[in-house]
Amino acid sequence: MNLTVVGTGYVGLVTGACFSEMGHNVYCVDVDESKIERLKEGIIPIYEPGLERIVQNNFQEGRLRFTTALADAMADSDVYFIAVGTPAGEDGSADLSYVIEVAREIGRNLDKYAVVVDKSTVPVGTGERVREVILEELQDRGVDHPFDVVSNPEFLKEGAAVDDFMRPDRIIIGSESERATEVMRTLYADFSRNHDKIMVMGVRDAEMTKYTANAMLATKISFMNEISTLCERLGVDVEKVRLGIGSDSRIGYSFIYPGCGYGGSCFPKDVNALIHMAEQRQLFPLVLQSVHQRNLFQKMMLGEKISTRFGKDLSGLTFAVWGLAFKPGTDDMREAPSIALLHQLIGAGARVLAYDPVAAETARRELPKAWFEEEKLVLTEHQYDALKGVDAMVLVTEWKPFRHPDFDAMKRLMKAPVVFDGRNQYDPERMESMGFDYYAMGRGKQVQPATSSCSL
Ligand SMILES: NC(=O)c1ccc[n+]([C@@H]2O[C@H](COP(=O)([O-])OP(=O)(O)OC[C@H]3O[C@@H](n4cnc5c(N)ncnc54)[C@H](O)[C@@H]3O)[C@@H](O)[C@H]2O)c1
Ligand SMILES: O=c1ccn([C@@H]2O[C@H](COP(=O)(O)OP(=O)(O)O[C@H]3O[C@H](CO)[C@@H](O)[C@H](O)[C@H]3O)[C@@H](O)[C@H]2O)c(=O)[nH]1
């Protein structure tokens, strides 16, 4: 099939690349000219394992093309995916201006039957709004072309995006039209070969499914984070509890890892958008609000533990931070727990040496310039360089190379062997036996002040 994907970010680029890998002809469109130029040179704007090879191969073979001209792309295709950002507006609602702009542009250029597929995460009712906008543009032009609007939310995780797209758990298609449903079934047939993974429902149902999935996963995490604080206070090891409950097939092992909070461009934004959707309808989404609040607390937790151990004033102290990305496998730092921690440490007068295997460039671009100019924050080339002369190490992102470090080398390099582990990567007893003063999340020694704002 011939496809156009509008928006060449995490979702758009992965969607376009993966469909071209399956033999479809794909145009990827973006308003960002420099991004499109770099893609034409084979330069991938994001770090996403496996993506570069697919993009370069399919570009060379002519199945994947990049352009800023939506009209040209549309002329050559029958399915138009909208995969632009839906960032949080000031009141927490999803900002739909990019989606609506693309819908207008489609309406201005539509000249044959097409399926318009919304892949962006959008509030319930957006499909209808997209349809109205396209119709308005067609009316302005005095033409009448049939088209269908379909919702096809994306469930990929950053760091595992290609795999998630190629081997989805399910493919949700929100469609009110048999013709459009058939087009979508044909398009996704290869991804649903052995088991029928395609689920067809109404457009509004599909829009809500996406938010509900993210909110459910965020709820599991916030719930476990709250339990981890209680475990720590009770002298219980939350990791034992995690394994104990995960073995219950009704609960499962995934997304119950306690830590220093969830980040990324989706969970925080989507929980807030759902809260906003409920409040707009005079509902009080108590669970969702708590999930969000708990996460804000959780992101402050490492900093609170550090100030309980070292005092509120951290001037003269230096900390190593291992991991800046919001999760391993990506260079994305949107809403990363590392950002809250850096503000706490540097705000209290500390100096920070930070290391991340891939997010250094993102950090230089997105963190305050003054931190780098005044050397309050120094990014190191290697994980061990960040440990030189530090008063403590703080592990924020569980990259694999942090899992089994050379603990002897760590002790030699650090001024004092103090470790704050925001992702429960190490065994507390082993750490203590090796001479580390070790603090984790919900296990081992307790370092929460009784009156902490994060106490529960
Ligand atoms: N990042 C994820 O892991 C993920 C996963 C599933 C769903 N989503 C959802 O998918 C959507 C896209 O997210 P993303 O992370 O890919 O966003 P992104 O910010 O990485 O990329 C969006 C792209 O759209 C482009 N764009 C904006 N307006 C445009 C226009 N009028 N025409 C053409 N291009 C335009 C931007 O230049 C940018 O390159 C969001 O709704 C998000 O919530 C994201
Ligand atoms: O048990 C867990 C699992 C995750 N996290 C944190 O949760 C955040 C989000 O992680 P993850 O879900 O793996 O990454 P995302 O790329 O944000 O993916 C989520 O958001 C996407 C955008 O909507 C969806 O498509 C995916 O299905 C959904 O998992 C990260 O900060 C993780 O560290 C935890 O703290 N504990």
Which of the pair, 358 or 194, is modelled with greater confidence? Answer: 358
Assess whether pLDDT exceeds 80 at residue 260.
yes
Confidence of residue 445 (pLDDT cuts 50, 70, 90): confident
Confidence of residue 230 (pLDDT cuts 50, 70, 90): very high
pLDDT > 70 in the chain, percent: 98
Residues in binding site for NAD(+): 30, 35, 86, 121, 158, 269, 334
Q: What is the CATH number of domain 2-201?
A: 3.40.50.720
Q: From the alpha carbon of 266, which atom of ligand 1 is closest?
A: 43
CATH 3.40.50.720 domain position(s) in the chain: 2-201, 235-439
Q: How far is the CA of 118 from the centre of ligand 2 (A)?
A: 21
- pLDDT digits 0-9 by tens, 140-173: 999 999 999 999 999 999 999 999 999 999 999 9
Confidence of residue 196 (pLDDT cuts 50, 70, 90): confident
Q: From the alpha carbon of 265, which atom of ligand 1 is closest?
A: 1
Q: What pLDDT does residue 123 have?
A: 97
Q: Do 305 and 311 meet the contact criterion of CB atoms below 8 Å apart?
A: no
Q: How far is the CA of 334 from the centre of ligand 2 (A)?
A: 12
Q: What pLDDT does residue 449 have?
A: 55
Assess whether pLDDT exceeds 80 at residue 448.
no
Assess whether pLDDT exceeds 90 at residue 189.
yes
Q: How far is the CA of 353 from the centre of ligand 2 (A)?
A: 26
Q: Backbone phi, then psi, for 62, in 5-degree steps?
A: 85, 5
Tokens 């919001």 belong to 326
- Nearest residue to 110 (alpha-carbon basis) of 132, 77, 83: 77
Q: What pLDDT does residue 307 have?
A: 96
Among 174-183, 188-197, 218-227, 252-261, the range scoring the smallest mean pLDDT is 188-197
Assess whether pLDDT exceeds 90 at residue 195.
no
CB of 98 shorter than 6 A to ligand 1: yes
Tokens 């996403």 belong to 48
CB of 256 shorter than 6 A to ligand 2: yes
**Beta strands in 191-272, from DSSP E residues, in sequence order:** 198-201
Among 46-50, 231-235, 269-273, 452-456, the range scoring the smallest mean pLDDT is 452-456
The mean pLDDT value for 255-274 works out to 97
Assess whether pLDDT exceeds 70 at residue 131.
yes
Q: What pLDDT does residue 453 have?
A: 52
Q: From the alpha carbon of 326, which atom of ligand 2 is closest?
A: 31
Q: Which of 10, 119, 158, 341 to mutate to test the pocket of ligand 2 (most atoms within 8 A of CB)?
A: 158
What's domain 235-439's architecture? 3-Layer(aba) Sandwich (3.40)
Measured CA to CA in angstroms, residue 385 lies from 326, 338, 409, 426 at distances of 21, 18, 11, 20
Q: Which long-range contacts (CB under 8 A, 24 or more apart) does 122-125 make?
A: 122/86, 122/94, 122/96, 122/151, 122/207, 123/93, 123/94, 123/96, 123/207, 123/211, 123/273, 123/277, 124/204, 124/207, 124/208, 124/211, 124/277, 125/204, 125/207
Residues in binding site for substrate: 155-158, 210, 255-259, 263, 327
**Residue minimizing CA distance to atom 25 of ligand 1:** 7
Assess whether pLDDT exceeds 60 at residue 454.
no
Q: What pLDDT does residue 194 have?
A: 78
Instruction: Give the ligand with the smallest distance to the CA of 242.
Output: 2
- pLDDT digits 0-9 by tens, 360-383: 999 999 999 999 999 999 999 999
Among 119-133, 185-199, 208-222, 380-394, the range scoring the smallest mean pLDDT is 185-199
Q: Which residues are catalytically annotated?
A: 266
**Residue minimizing CA distance to atom 33 of ligand 2:** 327
What does the alpha-carbon distance between residue 172 and residue 265 come to, in Å, rounded to a whole number?
21
Q: From the alpha carbon of 105, which atom of ligand 1 is closest?
A: 31
> What is the arrangement of strands in the sheet containing 377-379, beginning at the earlier edge strand?
377-379, 351-355, 318-322, 392-395, 418-421, 437-439
- Number of other CB atoms surrounding residue 353 within 10 Å: 21
Q: Which of 5, 6, 11, 34 to mutate to test the pocket of ligand 1 (most atoms within 8 A of CB)?
A: 11
Q: The tokens of 379 are what? A: 């990014």
Q: Which residues pair with 173 in a beta bridge?
A: 200
CB of 32 shorter than 6 A to ligand 1: yes
**Residue minimizing CA distance to atom 13 of ligand 2:** 157
Q: What pLDDT does residue 430 have?
A: 97
The mean pLDDT value for 280-300 works out to 97
- Model confidence, pTM: 0.96
Tokens 């209290």 belong to 348
Q: How far is the CA of 208 from the centre of ligand 1 (A)?
A: 18
What does the alpha-carbon distance between residue 420 and residue 424 come to, in Å, rounded to a whole number?
9
Assess whether pLDDT exceeds 80 at residue 324.
yes
Q: What is the ipTM of this complex?
A: 0.98
- Please give the mean pLDDT across all residues of the chain: 96
Q: Which of 207, 211, 217, 335 to mutate to test the pocket of ligand 2 (most atoms within 8 A of CB)?
A: 217
The mean pLDDT value for 288-307 works out to 97
